[in-house]
């Protein structure tokens, strides 16, 4: 299949592009490389020494004999070039991962909020409008987030995107409908993913676009069978307080002998998935595209399991003796929540998820230890505050960190 991987230089996108290529697909990476510039803005770099994209692609060809091309293009700001690319390449599937994806980054200040909304909403909308303009029936597979559901405790197993509701019409007869599950975004980033859902619904209904939206949990791990083939293929490993995901940051803290910074009580329950499952799920979604019809967006929860943050910290304490430090939570969120999630659709497609086990943490820990010399310990704690007053109050303390 001809597949365009938008955001194919990123943490999930790079291993997705290689995995699809290795499974016989003809892959073009479309990426503005903005994520590399964001590292410069934040004054951090990936824990792993990520090679420039042309070098990565040359190494992939050298090691496997497979060609993956790159087109440098900003989806949000170059809509005409995007339409021209789609018209010329005519991909059969478009995997869309090209968004600003860090919740803390999106909450830093008004400029970062605007940047996140402008980038994410326009990137998604430009893609959908271009597909209609070009008349291309490509299946869109979007990486969304479990965060759109919010994290209040609900006594249900979260359904996959839709809530079945019945309500009485004027005569008292029952009307039955599936509606998008009410969103409760916890950051501007999550808000943009909620807005994406409405864009998808509109274009599926109005134009018959075929769309799969994957509501993904927090990704842990860093390597996949493809990125392990050569050191030049190594994947990103973000450990900083903006882009680092919770478990990967804990691993770096543990490797450096720093306390694991648990926000508040650590009672937050979140959905997790290993990176190897992320790439498998995206392939399963792409390869089952014939089952997706216009009119209704297919929404699948891309989750292996749910875990409580303090239990993760306790596991690393048991495994490595890492100390745990409870720090004030910079986010505005429930201190404790329950979370159960339905994942029937991806399991029906063949997903047998990797569950977090101590032995599986070893490889990530080994990576963290190998590159520990590249870590700036001051950049590990999350500093972006959700609440403006607390942000102002925290400023002097943060400066001293
Ligand atoms: N990493 C996670 O834990 C996680 C969890 C749930 C969902 N997701 C979703 O998966 C997707 C990929 O996440 P990631 O962790 O790989 O992020 P990432 O920041 O590492 O990668 C995103 C890539 O998209 C590119 N990009 C961003 N804006 C662009 C634009 N306007 N035009 C062209 N390229 C652009 C960046 O340069 C980068 O290479 C995101 O949409 C994210 O919301 C990620």
Q: Locate the ligand 1 atom nearest the alpha carbon of residue 9 and give its number.
A: 39
Ligand 1 midpoint to CA 164 (Å):
31
Q: Is 12 in the pocket of ligand 1 (CB under 6 A)?
A: yes
Are 379 and 196 in contact, with CB atoms under 8 Å apart? Answer: no
**Whose CA is closest to atom 23 on ligand 1?**
7
306 is catalytic: no
Whether domain 2-395 has CATH 3.40.50.720: yes
192 is catalytic: no
Q: Is 99 in the pocket of ligand 1 (CB under 6 A)?
A: yes
Q: What is the pLDDT of residues 141-180, one digit of tens each?
A: 999 999 999 988 888 899 999 999 999 999 999 999 999 9
CA separation (Å) from 93 to 27, 278, 378?
10, 17, 41
189 is catalytic: yes
Q: Is 196 in the pocket of ligand 1 (CB under 6 A)?
A: no
Three-point CA angle 234, 247, 7, nearest 5°: 45
User: What pLDDT does residue 401 have?
Assistant: 30
CA quadruple 388, 390, 393, 398: dihedral sign: negative
Q: Is 125 in the pocket of ligand 1 (CB under 6 A)?
A: no
CA separation (Å) from 54 to 9, 51, 68, 71, 165?
10, 8, 10, 11, 50
Are 316 and 246 in contact, with CB atoms under 8 Å apart? Answer: no
Smallest CA-to-CA distance from 228 within 381, 15, 66 is with 15
Ligand 1 midpoint to CA 112 (Å):
16
Q: How far apart are CA 382 and CA 195, in angstroms?
A: 26
Q: What is the pTM of this model?
A: 0.95
Of these residues, 181, 189, 203, 243, which one is catalytic?
A: 189
Are 29 and 68 in contact, with CB atoms under 8 Å apart? Answer: yes
Q: Which residues of the chain have a pLDDT value below 50?
A: 396-401
């Amino acid at each position: 299949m001809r597949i365009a991987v938008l955001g194919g230089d990123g943490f999930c996108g790079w291993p997705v592009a290689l995995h699809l290529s290795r499974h016989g697909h003809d892959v073009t990476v479309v990426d503005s490389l903005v994520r590399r510039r964001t590292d410069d803005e934040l004054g951090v770099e990936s824990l792993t020494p990520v090679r420039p994209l042309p070098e990565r692609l040359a190494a992939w060809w050298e090691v496997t004999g497979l060609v993956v091309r790159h087109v440098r293009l900003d989806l949000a700001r170059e809509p005409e070039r995007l339409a021209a690319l789609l018209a010329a390449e005519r991909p059969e599937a478009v995997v869309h991962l090209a968004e600003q994806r860090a919740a803390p980054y999106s909450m830093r200040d008004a400029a970062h909020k605007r940047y996140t909304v402008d980038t994410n909403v326009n990137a998604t909308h430009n893609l959908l409008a271009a597909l209609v303009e070009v008349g291309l029936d490509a299946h869109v597979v979007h990486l969304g987030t479990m965060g759109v559901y919010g994290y209040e405790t609900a006594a249900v197993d979260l359904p996959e995107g839709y809530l079945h509701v019945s309500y009485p019409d004027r005569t008292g007869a029952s009307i039955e409908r599936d509606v998008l599950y009410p969103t409760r975004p916890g950051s501007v980033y999550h808000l943009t993913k909620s807005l994406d859902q409405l864009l998808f619904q509109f274009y599926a209904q109005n134009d018959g676009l075929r769309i799969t939206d994957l509501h993904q949990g927090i990704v842990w791990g860093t390597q996949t069978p493809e990125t392990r083939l050569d050191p030049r293929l190594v994947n990103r490993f973000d450990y900083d307080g903006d882009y680092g995901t919770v478990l990967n940051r804990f691993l770096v803290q543990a490797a450096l002998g720093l306390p694991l910074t648990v926000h508040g009580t650590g009672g937050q329950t979140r959905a997790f998935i290993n990176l190897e499952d992320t790439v498998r799920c995206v392939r399963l979604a792409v390869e089952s595209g014939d089952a997706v019809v216009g009119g209704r967006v297919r929404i699948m929860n891309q989750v292996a399991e749910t875990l409580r943050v303090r239990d993760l910290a306790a596991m690393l304490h048991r495994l490595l003796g890492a100390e745990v430090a409870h720090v004030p939570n910079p986010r505005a969120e429930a201190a404790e929540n329950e979370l159960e999630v339905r994942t029937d659709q991806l399991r029906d497609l063949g997903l047998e998820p990797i569950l977090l086990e101590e032995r599986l943490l070893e490889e990530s820990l080994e990576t963290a230890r190998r590159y520990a010399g590249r870590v700036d310990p001051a950049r590990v704690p999350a500093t972006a505050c959700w609440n403006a007053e607390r942000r102002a109050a925290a400023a002097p303390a943060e400066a001293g960190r």
